[in-house]
Structure formats: structure tokens, C-alpha cells
Amino acid sequence: MSSLKLKWHKLTHWEYWPLWAIYYPLFPVWLYYSIKARSFFFFNAANPSMKNGGMAMESKMEIYKMIPQQFIPKTVFITQNEKADHALERILDSDIGFPFIAKPDIGMKAFGVDKIHNKDEFRRYLRRTPSHFLVQELIPFTKELGIFYVRKPGEEKGRVTGIVSKEFLSVIGDGKSTLVELIKKNPRSHLQLKALEQKFGEQLNNVLPEDEEFILVPYGSHTRGAKFVDITHRLNADLEEIIDGICSQMKGFHYGRLDVLHNSFEELCEGKNFSVIEINGAGGEATHIYDPKHSLFFAWREITKHWGFMNEVSILNHKMGHSYLSFKGGRAMLREHHALEAQIRMI
């Protein structure tokens, strides 16, 4: 695909637009909710047990401690300046073997997430990371969902408001084309070419056998090429009960998205063979909006609807004594977030 066609594809498909282009037109809506709450940074009260309500700069490790341990991967917290040998000893003592997943403790958009295959790769990751990070066992399930959950303070049960299925970025071989040629045939993968070249190098010149699938990015991150498919219509009482059963055990959690690896949708609805790999609070998007079939107007409607949920939850929690973030504190948080994001993008 030519450079011009690629640029045109980005321009005509809003899912590739920068976040400011999607969210800035909704500023009057945020202002309306801010007036209702009497605070611009009302989200701080959405999830009282999370730093900044889970909007930004929250520790993933602290969130994992909130989740019932049987539902999450084995996880080890590694400090930025910890010695590699000591860290590896702790990892192996925790019964986590190679390969495993490493990711920043304060993460965003799956930047800095990597699969570590051996000791040398771990040492390189430790050297280049700008912050504390987590090591997690590799979960064998190959399917991922994002499930959005809302529960008002005082409600006995919460509800699921959106489900997205995440298709990992991959190519299918034809027995003739090299990996790089296959990548360039699809704008979704072509847009990731620079990062893929850094990751795979000369391996991209290999010819992929016919009908063989090669997963380029094994993470359900939209910014790293995953395709998001809205399957909210598949919500059922069993799945909602499973998700509410997990979230209701998390004190002070009312609003956010669970990212779940699972073996099959049917087994997940039975409470079998799944793992919660992440929970995002106030900063979590209802990512079913990014299904290519949805219009920008659909996305705006879902965003404003979920902001309304968060606003209502925050106001109710505030009345119960949980604080909003001051304007000064909110600005400092945003500056810190943007600075850390710039560093993590370089991992």
C-alpha cells in the first residue's frame, strides 16, 4: 500500500485519529458534568480505592492487590534500579518461568509491554525501562475481551455496559509472500510497520507458509494494531454475574474496564479458564466504540453516556466523604502523566 493510500486510510477511518481529535469536540459535555459535580476533576471520586480514581498515574500493582487473587496472573513487582540477578531470583521463586510478560507499573496504551524469553532480554528490558515494572506469568489463553463495568455506590449489583473482543494483529501466509509483504497488504498492520521492523528485523523477509497465521503483536492494544469488535450484544446474565462477582469484592471500585484473557466465550460465562490481566478505572475507555463498523457519532454517544455514569458515581461518592481532585493537583497529574508516557513510548 502506497504512503498516500495509507494516509488517506487514516484520514477516512476515525479509529486512527489522535485522541484530541476525538475528545476535544466533547469538551462542552465534560464542562457540563464538571458544573454538576462542582469540580473539573470530579473523576477522583469515581473509584476511591484507586489513585486519581484510576484516571492516570495509578499503580497497577496496587490495583492487582484489590482483585481476588484467583482471578489474576502471578505477578512480581520490580523496582527500576533493582539488580537483574536479584530480580530474576525473585521471579523464579514465584514460580514464574520464561517466557513471561513485563510491563510498566504505571502504564498506558500497552506501551512498554513486552514478552521476555530469556535472561538477556530481561536484563535489556531492566536497563531501558524508566520506571518500576511488573513481571507476570504468561497466560496461555489467546482470546481477549474488554468488559466495561459500572456500579453506583449503594447498589447491590453492578452492570456491564459494553464488551469488546480484541483480535490480535496477525497475518495469514499464502506460501509466496514474505512477512513484510503480507504486512503491507493490510493498512492495520502496515501502520505498525516501523515498530514491527524494530521487533522482528530480518525475520520479516521470511516467507510464511500457506494458511499459517503469524501473530505480530500478541496484545489486545488498539494503539498496537489490534482490531476491536463490539460484541456487547452477547452479554448474558451468567457473564454479568461473573463480572459483578469479581468487581463487588473490590472495595472502592465502581467504574472501569476489565481486560480478560479467556479460552472461549462459553467457558468464560461458566466462570472457567479466564484471567483478569488488567483493570482500568476512570481513565478506561469503553473500547467497543473502536469497532470499525461504528461511526464517530456512535463513539461520541457512548463516551458521553459513560462520562454520565462516572459523573453520577463520583457525585454520590463525594457526598459520602470522598474528595475530588483540586485543579492544581489535576494539572500536576496531567503533566506527570504526559512526561511518563513520552518515556514509556521509548521502551
How many residues in total does the chain contain?
A: 347
**CB-based contacts of 315, cutoff 8 Å, min separation 6:** 36, 37, 42, 45
C-alpha cell at 80: 527500576
pLDDT value of position 298? 98
| 78 shares a domain with 50 | no
**CB-based contacts of 81, cutoff 8 Å, min separation 6:** none
| 60 shares a domain with 46 | yes
Establish if 25 belongs to a structural domain: no
200-219 tens-digit pLDDT: 999 999 999 999 999 999 88
In angstroms, the Cα distances linking 262 to 85, 162, 266, 267, 274 are 32, 17, 10, 8, 4
Establish if 17 belongs to a structural domain: no
pLDDT value of position 347? 67
Q: pTM here?
A: 0.94
| 234 shares a domain with 296 | yes
242 burial (CB, 10 Å; 0-12 / 13-18 / 19+) is: buried
Coil vs helix vs strand at 220: coil
| 147 shares a domain with 288 | yes
pLDDT value of position 108? 74
What's the rounded Cα separation, in Å, for the pair 254 and 94? 31
Whole domain around residue 187: which residue ranges? Answer: 169-217
| 160 shares a domain with 229 | yes
Tally of domains in the chain: 3
| 231 shares a domain with 287 | yes
289-345 tens-digit pLDDT: 999 999 999 999 999 999 999 999 999 999 999 999 999 999 999 899 888 877 777
Written as tens digits, the pLDDT of the chain (347 aa) is 788 999 999 999 999 999 999 999 999 999 999 999 999 999 999 999 999 999 999 999 999 999 999 999 999 999 988 999 999 999 999 999 999 999 999 877 777 899 999 999 999 999 988 889 999 999 999 899 999 999 999 999 999 999 999 999 999 999 999 999 999 999 999 999 999 999 999 999 999 999 999 999 988 889 889 999 999 999 999 999 999 999 999 999 999 999 999 999 999 999 999 999 999 999 999 999 999 999 999 999 999 999 999 999 999 999 999 999 999 999 999 899 888 877 777 66
pLDDT value of position 61? 97
